[in-house]
């Protein structure tokens, strides 16, 4: 199992290829302003069709939403579609195989940001690593006085090809077997990690034994008018505090996959590439009654 984890970075290198435009993992508004007219640059907004259509968007962008990329499995877990279905959805957005991709969000709610970073991870999972998330999203774009439009040109089906790197994902059974041998990072809010509170969808309090906390909320900011955005750190707090080696294998979990994807995007942008995401996460872990550390010792959940 250790061998498979160590090979993640090698897989990413193997599948890399030459592109007309090379997209950084964390895209500054200034970079996008400079490169927006590149013919092989695709831009995806994560919001909703009404906001995209009537409240402007970045020129040449297309729109999707968080819910388009996952479904609820029979055990209640929210998980990604098959790699074939994901590739088909990406082609429907007009994305071509040689495109660099920039993903941004409007920030009407935190789900849009979580959807953007989840889609970022999905592109990596499909072998397309020439993709980045716009730092500070729509808020950052407007602050940089980037161009906006209300034009909605028709979409031509793209020729995107999936080359899956399945080592970027870890399933519940494998996570249960190998978690003690690697750094396991929990992306949930700190009070959930401590076992003091939980999401309504989570039937149990507590955390996976041996895991450490890096809440996705650490990256979140809010504008005066109530719009959410995320600011990518140079190095996430946990990695800086623990002085983690960038080559160290890291497993990422949360409640339902998107918090894990958030840490994936932030860790990757900071130069930590040996990462695996637990997509079904604690939703599936808890339905299977796998072990938890319950720090507040709630008797009903022992």
Q: What is the pLDDT of the chain when averaged over all its residues? A: 93
Confidence bin at 54 (pLDDT 50/70/90): very high
- To the nearest whole percent, how much of the chain has pLDDT over 70? 91
On whether the 17-143 domain is CATH 3.40.1190.20, my answer is: no
Domain boundaries, the chain: 17-143, 166-301
Q: What architecture does CATH give domain 166-301?
A: 3-Layer(aba) Sandwich (3.40)
Q: Is the per-residue pLDDT at 3 higher than 90?
A: no
Q: Tell me if domain 17-143 and domain 166-301 are identical in fold.
A: yes
Residue 28 has pLDDT above 90, yes or no: yes
Contact of 170 with 254, CB cutoff 8 Å: no
DSSP designation for 157: P
Report yes or no: 28 and 135 within 8 Å, Cβ to Cβ.
yes
pTM for the full predicted model: 0.93
Q: List residues bridging with 63 in a β-sheet.
A: 45
Cβ atoms of 246 and 258 within 8 Å: the answer is no
**pLDDT score of 13:** 45
Conformation bin of residue 226: beta by default, left when phi > 0, alpha when psi is -120 to 50: left
- Which residue reads 């080559």 in tokens? 247
- Tell me what percent of the residues of the chain surpass a pLDDT of 90: 89
pLDDT digits (tens, 9 = 90+) for 126-145: 999 999 999 999 999 999 99
- Kindly state the average pLDDT of the residues 113-138: 98
Among 42-51, 95-104, 131-140, 195-204, which is the least confidently predicted range? 195-204
Taking alpha carbons only, the member of 14, 84, 135, 69 closest to residue 279 is: 69
pLDDT in tens, 229-242: 999 999 999 999 99
């Amino acid at each position: 199992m250790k061998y498979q984890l160590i090979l993640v970075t090698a897989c990413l290198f193997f599948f890399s290829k030459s592109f007309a435009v090379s997209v950084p993992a964390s895209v500054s508004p200034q970079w996008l302003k400079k490169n927006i007219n590149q013919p092989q640059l695709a831009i995806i907004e994560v919001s909703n069709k009404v906001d995209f259509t009537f409240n402007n968007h970045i020129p040449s962008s297309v729109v999707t939403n968080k819910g388009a990329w996952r479904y609820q499995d029979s055990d209640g877990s929210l998980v990604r579609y098959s790699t074939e279905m994901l590739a088909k959805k990406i082609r429907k957005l007009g994305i071509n195989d040689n495109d660099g991709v920039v993903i941004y969000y409007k920030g009407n709610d935190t789900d849009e940001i979580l959807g953007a970073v989840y889609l970022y991870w999905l592109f990596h999972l499909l072998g397309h690593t020439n993709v980045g998330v716009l730092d500070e999203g729509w808020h950052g774009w407007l602050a940089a006085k980037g161009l906006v439009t209300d034009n909605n040109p028709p979409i031509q089906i793209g020729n995107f090809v999936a080359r899956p790197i399945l080592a970027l994902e870890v399933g519940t059974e494998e996570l249960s077997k190998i978690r003690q041998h690697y750094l396991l990072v929990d992306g949930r809010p700190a009070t959930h990690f401590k076992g003091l509170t939980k999401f309504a969808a989570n039937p149990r309090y507590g955390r996976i034994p041996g895991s450490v906390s890096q809440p996705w909320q650490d990256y979140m900011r809010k504008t005066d008018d109530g719009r959410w955005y995320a600011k990518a750190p140079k190095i996430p707090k946990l990695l800086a505090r623990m002085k983690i080696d960038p080559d160290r294998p890291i497993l990422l979990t949360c409640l339902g996959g998107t918090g894990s994807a958030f840490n994936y995007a932030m860790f990757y942008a900071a130069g930590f590439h040996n990462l695996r995401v637990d997509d079904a996460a604690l939703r599936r872990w808890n339905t299977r009654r796998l072990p938890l550390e319950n720090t507040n010792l709630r008797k009903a959940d022992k």
